[in-house]
């Protein structure tokens, strides 16, 4: 039979063990569960997107941003039907349409000569036939020639290809009747009414379709002040400036040139467009 004192000690140990287990369980129940991580769908770490970036409008890279700020000097960029709208350099080209005219062309030539500026003359075939001496003067003074159709036909581009070709060839022949072997590197469609057939035809004949960048609408005779303000306000590096030395009263254009030439020369290099090999 067990000693009463031993049995009592065992009971005490059992009670203490039970109390310890109960205390541990109570302590565990009082410790809060660790917080659950919420899934936001946003990556973390080094690959996280910039907070200001938008998936639909990405932030441009530095080279692209710089390119948008640089002037576009591609001579064929943005021209109607691929026509040329820039000199392709920082230089500026003055062009004169609809001549030659016996009253105004000599005045324009005299001003260009005074400032030693070379320009491009887009001549009409019938005028070249009537004033071959002025075609000769244009070439002799180092200016570039441009075909401007036989009779300033603004609807030429809508005519059959054979008619367009005949018109341009007739005009070239009239120019070369005055200056044999003259280089005619460009064609300008009257009114800028370009079409694919007229562009294709002039290129087949070895001429570049020539448009413009700055148009002061001097053919409307708005006055020298307005012509001057438009040209000075809009001309930038690479510009091709459209003016007229014939086709009406061009006194305003001549007067505007007296102010324009010395100012433009302080801002840009002025050039006649390259003549090419045509």
The burial of 222, by beta-carbon neighbours within 10 Å (0-12 exposed, 13-18 middle, 19 or more buried), is given as middle
**How far is it, in rounded angstroms, from Cα 206 to Cα 67?**
32
To the query of whether residue 167 is one of the catalytic residues in this protein, the response is: no
Closest CA to 109 of 272, 233, 275: 272
Q: Which of 120, 139, 118, 127 is nearest to 98 (CA)?
A: 127
Residue of 97, 101, 153, 245 with catalytic role: 97
Contacts of 175 (CB under 8 A, 6+ apart): 123, 125, 128, 135, 145, 147, 182, 184
State the number of CA atoms in the 13 A half-sphere of 26 facing the CB. 6
The structure tokens 């200001």 sit at 52
Q: What single string gives the DSSP state of each residue in 14-68?
A: HHHHHHHHHHHHHHHHHSPPPPPPP--S---GGGPPPTT-BTTBPPPPHHHHHHH
Among 98, 211, 244, 245, the active-site one is 244
What Cα–Cα distance (Å) separates residue 216 from each residue in 105, 224, 242? 18, 10, 7
Strands (E), 72-158: 92-99, 120-123, 144-147
CA separation for the pair 146, 187 (Å, rounded)? 5
Q: Is 97 a catalytic residue?
A: yes
Task: Provide the annotated active-site residues.
Answer: 97, 244
């Amino acid at each position: 039979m067990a000693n009463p004192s031993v049995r009592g000690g065992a009971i005490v140990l059992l009670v203490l063990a039970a109390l310890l287990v109960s205390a541990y369980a109570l302590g565990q129940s009082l410790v809060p569960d660790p917080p659950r991580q919420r899934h936001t769908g946003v990556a973390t770490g080094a690959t996280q997107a910039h907070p200001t970036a938008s998936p639909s409008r990405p932030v441009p890279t530095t080279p692209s941003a710089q390119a948008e700020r640089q002037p576009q000097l591609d001579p064929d960029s943005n021209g109607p039907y691929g026509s040329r709208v820039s000199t392709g350099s920082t230089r500026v080209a003055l062009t004169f349409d609809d001549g030659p005219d016996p009253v105004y062309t000599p005045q324009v030539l005299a001003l260009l000569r005074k400032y030693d500026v070379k320009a491009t003359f887009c001549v009409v075939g019938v005028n070249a036939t009537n004033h071959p001496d002025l075609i000769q003067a244009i070439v002799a003074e180092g200016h570039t020639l441009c075909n401007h159709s036989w009779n300033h036909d603004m609807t030429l581009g809508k005519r059959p290809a054979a008619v367009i070709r005949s018109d341009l060839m007739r005009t070239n022949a009239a120019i070369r009747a005055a200056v044999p072997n003259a280089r005619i590197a460009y064609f300008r469609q009257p009114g800028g009414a370009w079409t694919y057939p007229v562009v294709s035809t002039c290129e087949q004949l070895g001429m570049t379709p020539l448009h413009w960048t700055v148009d002061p609408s001097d053919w409307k005779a708005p006055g020298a002040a307005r012509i001057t303000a438009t040209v000075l306000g809009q001309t930038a590096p690479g510009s091709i400036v459209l003016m007229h030395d014939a086709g009406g009263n061009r006194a305003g254009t001549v007067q505007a040139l007296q102010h324009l030439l010395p100012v433009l020369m302080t801002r840009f290099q002025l050039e006649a467009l390259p003549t090419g090999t045509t």
